[in-house]
């Protein structure tokens, strides 16, 4: 039995544009998904999930993960909770050259599912790490990040970038541009997260931006503008200029809203944070619902969000400089 964990993440800049080769800067936060993997004597897969914005469920099925498990919950819930684990299991089997390995997989997560905090990336990366270690194989950081990306790419029907999986695998702040992924220096950031209790469909939202970009030249220009903004954000981050970071976060949210990926609840939380004198605030992740991230060294934003209609939770999120780690073996 091996337990591995991986942190969640927020985007300072660049979500959606990163899909088209523009740079993005996500950073890991101190909320984790923990995955415990135990090898079975047969080739079956059992998945038990808790805290993934679900009440918890257990499913068990054969080695062919292409079918829907026979379980008394809605198909959408099963898909949300299991498809990433399926993809992670396939990557672990391939890495260990054990195509018929069976596993019991237990997932406990502090990261709400589909809320823009990297829940799927954290589960996938931790699951691959735990499963390969259980089979006697230890992957280096680069291969683990690559296999986690490939798992998300498969689970999201090709609508994925390396940003989320690389960030949660290595921890800290990272810069991702296409296949070029690297860690970057960042000060301790006064991050506050607001969560509306909902989630967006990442694949659908990414596809929506793709359609908009293909139909309108100005939408394609907007995506490129996000990339230019990210480059300015990198300079501000390197200089530790929090005021400039905040201004650029505000600008980034406006561009994402123009691309149609914000929502009434996300906008309400962003404006509540700004009215509380946050240095900046924006949605984080795919959008459509989920979370915003604000920059505020005071308690004012967290307090304001707690009283904002539509905000179900608000919390401070410290930068987590550690990526995937083994919790028990």
Please report, for the domain that includes residue 254, its CATH number.
3.30.70.890
Residue 117 contacts residue 192 (beta carbons within 8 Å): no
pLDDT class of 53 with cuts at 50, 70, 90: low
Tens digit of each residue's pLDDT (9 = 90 or more) over 241-293: 999 999 999 999 999 999 999 999 999 999 999 999 999 999 999 899 999 99
**What pTM did the predictor assign?**
0.88
| Burial group, residue 55, by CB count within 10 angstroms (0-12, 13-18, 19+) | exposed
Tens digit of each residue's pLDDT (9 = 90 or more) over 184-238: 999 999 999 999 988 877 778 888 999 999 999 999 999 999 999 999 999 999 9
Q: Do 27 and 134 have their domain in common?
A: yes
Q: Do 149 and 29 have their domain in common?
A: yes
DSSP labels for 162-179? Answer: SHHHHHHHH-SEEEEETT
Nearest residue to 104 (alpha-carbon basis) of 124, 70, 127, 123: 127
Q: Do 175 and 227 have their domain in common?
A: no
pLDDT class of 67 with cuts at 50, 70, 90: very low
Alpha carbon 238 to chain centroid, angstroms:
23
Q: pLDDT value at position 103?
A: 95
Residue 123 contacts residue 298 (beta carbons within 8 Å): no
Least confident of 3-7, 87-91, 114-118, 232-236: 114-118
Q: Which listed residue (106, 146, 164, 296) is catalytic? A: 164
Provide the domain count of the chain: 2
Task: Name the residue range of residue 236's domain.
Answer: 191-316
Task: Give catalytic status of residue 179 as yes or no.
Answer: no
Q: Do 85 and 199 have their domain in common?
A: no
Q: Do 156 and 246 have their domain in common?
A: no
Of 155, 184, 213, the residue that ends a domain is 184
Tens digit of each residue's pLDDT (9 = 90 or more) over 93-112: 999 999 999 999 999 988 88
Residue 67 contacts residue 86 (beta carbons within 8 Å): no
């Amino acid at each position: 039995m091996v337990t591995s964990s991986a942190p969640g993440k927020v985007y300072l800049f660049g979500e959606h544009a990163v899909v088209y080769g523009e740079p993005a800067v996500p950073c890991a936060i101190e909320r984790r998904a923990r995955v415990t993997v135990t090898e079975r004597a047969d080739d079956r897969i059992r998945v038990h999930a808790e805290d993934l914005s679900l009440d918890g469920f257990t499913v068990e099925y054969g080695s062919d993960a292409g079918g829907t498990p026979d379980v008394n919950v809605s198909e959408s819930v099963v898909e949300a909770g299991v498809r990433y684990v399926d993809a992670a299991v396939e990557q672990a089997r391939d890495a260990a050259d054990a195509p018929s390995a069976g596993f019991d997989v237990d997932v406990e997560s502090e990261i709400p599912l589909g809320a823009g905090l990297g829940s799927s990336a954290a589960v996938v990366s931790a699951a691959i790490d735990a499963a390969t270690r259980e089979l006697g194989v230890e992957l280096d950081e680069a291969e683990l990040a690559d296999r986690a990306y490939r798992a998300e790419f498969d689970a999201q029907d090709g609508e994925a970038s390396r940003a989320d999986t690389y960030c949660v695998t290595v921890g800290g702040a990272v810069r991702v541009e296409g296949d070029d992924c690297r860690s970057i220096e960042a000060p301790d950031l006064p991050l506050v997260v607001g969560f509306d209790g909902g989630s967006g469909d990442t694949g659908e939202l990414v596809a929506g931006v793709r359609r908009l970009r293909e139909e309108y030249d100005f939408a394609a220009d907007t995506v490129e503008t996000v990339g230019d903004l990210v480059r300015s954000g990198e300079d501000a981050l390197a200089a530790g200029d929090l005021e400039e970071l905040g201004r650029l976060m505000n600008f980034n949210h406006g561009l994402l809203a123009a691309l149609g990926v914000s929502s009434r609840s996300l906008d309400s939380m962003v404006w509540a944070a700004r009215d509380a004198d946050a240095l900046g605030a924006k949605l984080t992740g795919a959008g459509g619902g989920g979370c915003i991230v604000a920059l505020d060294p005071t308690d004012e934003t967290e307090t304001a969000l707690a009283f904002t209609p539509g905000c179900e939770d608000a919390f401070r999120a410290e930068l987590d400089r550690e990526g995937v780690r083994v919790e028990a073996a």
